[in-house]
Amino acid sequence: MSRLDEGGKPVVRLGYLHNAARPFILQFTSYLKEHYPEIEIEFKGMPYKMLYTALDDNRADLNIMLNVYSPHQQRYELATMYRDQFCVVVRANSRLARDCADGIELSRLVGLDLLLPSEKDFPGLQERMRKVLETEPSLLMERARSFRDVDSMYIQVETSNSVGISTSANWAYGSSKVVYLPIKGVDAGIDVNAYIGRSLSGRALTACKEALASCQAYLEDFSVLENARVQWRARVSALY
């Protein structure tokens, strides 16, 4: 067992990146409550940067986040839950949104101001995005600017000619004034993984592995981009 709470029950500290975990965190919780009711879950939703080192710092027993861990953190056992992807974020009323509804080629971004997540606030994520973008030689990556959080990226996209790069998991929980366009012609995918800390052992470890397996089965036909589109359309329909 990872540790005990004041009542003597085993506790699993679940660290998670909010939007990335939402498609299956309810399934994970429901499985444990049904099959291992004696185990308590301590939910620890964290900003990206804190979550990045939560296992190393013993702040979590199980982490759910994007697969951008540095090499020394790859020593943790992991389970891949689903495949997300980087998208181009544009204003919903822009020409790009109208012309590229089914996807956008990177060549369409040449000459535009790009917004990438700050390397300081999102360790490893900007580097992964740059590898995707650099497959288009005409893109001037030195002109790219950084954003410190997704909300500030949305504001800049909505009020300027900038376009952002973000994972599609953020779409369903963001602004209705922006659209996420999948990137065509290049593999822009990124895995959402559950990382198992060494603090988990015994029955708690068995329980978590079973719960993660149930999530994998639940997500077998899951497409985060299509799920985001459905929720976005529903939100827009409710507004109008």
How many distinct structural domains can be found in the chain? 2
pLDDT tens figures, 62-71: 999 999 876 6
- Note whether 65 and 132 are same-domain residues: no
pTM, rounded to two decimals: 0.86
Which residues fall within 8 angstroms of residue 66, CB to CB, at 6 or more apart? 17, 20, 84, 125, 167, 190, 191, 192, 193
| CB 106, CB 163: distance < 8 Å | no
- Note whether 133 and 176 are same-domain residues: yes
- Note whether 72 and 105 are same-domain residues: no
Q: Residue 55 is part of which domain span?
A: 3-83+191-222
Which of 98, 99, 91, 82 is CA-nearest to residue 115? 91
- Note whether 102 and 70 are same-domain residues: no
- Note whether 197 and 218 are same-domain residues: yes
pLDDT tens figures, 214-235: 999 999 888 877 777 766 666 5
pLDDT tens figures, 122-179: 999 999 999 999 999 999 888 899 999 999 999 999 999 899 999 998 887 777 889 9
Considering the domain boundaries, does residue 230 fall inside one?
Answer: no
How would you write 11-75 as a 3-class SS string?
EEEEEECHHHHCCCHHHHHHHHHHHCCCCEEEEEECCHHHHHCCCCCCCCCEEEEECCCCHHHHH
Considering the domain boundaries, does residue 53 fall inside one?
Answer: yes
**H/E element holding 189?**
strand 189-196
- Note whether 154 and 103 are same-domain residues: yes
Considering the domain boundaries, does residue 107 fall inside one?
Answer: yes
- Note whether 172 and 101 are same-domain residues: yes
- Note whether 76 and 19 are same-domain residues: yes
- Note whether 97 and 174 are same-domain residues: yes
CATH number (domain holding residue 182): 3.40.190.10
Considering the domain boundaries, does residue 105 fall inside one?
Answer: yes
Considering the domain boundaries, does residue 177 fall inside one?
Answer: yes
